[in-house]
Amino acid sequence: MNAIEINSLRKDFDNFSLKIEDLKIPQGFVTGFIGPNGSGKTTTIKLILSMLRRDSGIVKLFNQEYEGDDLSLKEQIGYVGEFNGYLQESKLSRIKKSLCLFYRDWDEKLYKKYMKEFELNENKIYRELSKGQQKKFDIVMTLSHRPKIIIMDEPTANLDPLVRNEVLEMLQERIEEDNATVFFSTHITSDLDKIGDYLVFIYKGKIFLADDKDSILQDHIIVKGKNELLQKDTEDIFISVNKNTFGFEGLVKNKEKAYELFGEEVVYDKPNLEDILTYYTRGNK
């Protein structure tokens, strides 16, 4: 079953257009949403959540079309984004007390556990917290009502590596205990190296690659060699290629084709997710 389905989604702005023909986010897994800044990640998330009005297209959650006004679906969604709407002058305890009433599945025990793990003091005023502490509290509030769909927009951006690992462990815990679905955008591809199951790459408002992480990493290969090996027929197999006086380096999606053309005359390296993103969006082929 898919937790999220998108069909023929479109949103036009003065200088940017988002077009997603078909996207399915499987239930019970972590799907990473990757792309350079300005590619449409936040716009897509806001359209899924009905925080922006769609120009056209359909968004379904658990096979039900979602327009943002279905409370039974709404309380199954957890969201961590840039803005949370909390009263900046309120104590954390006050924020929690006000919001937990809206969720039938609010888990006070889980809330206290996460607050302790993040070393957050309920008597602190939200505005006085550091950016990292605010993000921690946002994550605690999101996970404590045990949502079935967890949508996060750059959730680990202001967190140090140790805390990022804690957050990733928390997400994995929610998947294992609640069969939750995690969909989050990030530019920190190392996070997805650790826990990502599926990946969606977006650039200039269009998805150019979507598959399970292992298949994406296994299908692609970085090829390095001497410039004289690059001819019209050989250069065409590259996603993009970078040339300098010392030779060339490029990304190929078909490993077998690359070996057929170059054999042992080149060096083959395994790419990471950042390499794949860079070569697809470089646009210098």
Tell whether 231 is covered by a domain. yes
* Under 8 Å between Cβ of 238 and 251: yes
Same domain, 71 and 157: yes
What digits encode the pLDDT tens for the residues 18-66? Answer: 999 999 999 999 999 999 889 999 999 999 999 999 999 999 999 999 9
Comparing CA positions, the residue from 48, 151, 149, 135 lying closest to residue 83 is: 135
Between CA 285 and CA 280 the distance in angstroms is 10
Q: Is the pLDDT of residue 284 over 60?
A: no
Same domain assignment for residues 167 and 266: no
* Domain annotation covers residue 155: yes
Sheet harboring 2-12: ordered strands across? 17-26, 2-12, 56-61, 64-65
Structural domain contains residue 28: yes
| Residue 42 lies inside a defined structural domain of this protein | yes
* 52 or 186, higher pLDDT: 52
Q: Are residues 73 and 183 in the same domain?
A: yes
Same domain, 196 and 264: no
| Whole-number Å distance between alpha carbons of 239 and 220 | 10
Check whether 68 has a pLDDT greater than 90: no
CATH number of the domain encompassing residue 276: 3.30.70
The answer to whether 170 and 125 are in contact (CB under 8 A) is: no
- Asked whether the CA dihedral 26, 195, 100, 113 is positive or negative, the reply is positive
Return the pLDDT at 98. 93
With a cut of 90, say whether residue 1 has pLDDT above it.
Answer: no
Number of domains in the chain: 2
- Count Cβ neighbours within 10 Å for each residue of 101-123 and write b for 16 or more, e otherwise: eebeebbeebbeebbeebebeee
What is the domain-level CATH number for residue 150?
Answer: 3.40.50.300
Find the range with the poorest average confidence among 172-176, 216-220, 228-232, 268-272: 228-232
Report the pLDDT averaged over residues 60-77: 88
pLDDT-derived band at 186 (thresholds 50, 70, 90) equals: confident
- pLDDT at residue number 234: 84
How does the average pLDDT of the chain come out, rounded? 92
The answer to the question of residue 234 being in a domain is yes
Which pLDDT score is estimated for 285? Answer: 42
Q: Are residues 150 and 69 located together in one domain of the fold?
A: yes
In a domain, 140, yes or no: no
**What size, in residues, is the chain?**
285
For 250, the domain range is 220-282
Looking at the structure, tell me whether residues 259 and 173 fall in a common domain. no
Same domain, 208 and 228: no
- Opening angle at CA 215, ends 209 and 220, nearest 5: 70
* Minimum mean pLDDT range among 64-68, 101-105, 243-247, 272-276: 64-68
Query: What's the pLDDT band for 283 if we cut at 50, 70, 90?
Result: low
Q: Do 177 and 263 fall within a single domain?
A: no
Rounded CA-CA distance 46/81 in Å is 10
94 found inside a domain: no
> pTM for this one?
0.91
123 located within any domain: no
Q: Tell me: do 54 and 157 sit in the same domain.
A: yes
Please identify, among 213, 228, 260, the residue that sits at the C-terminal boundary of a domain: 213
Residues 8 and 75 in one domain: yes
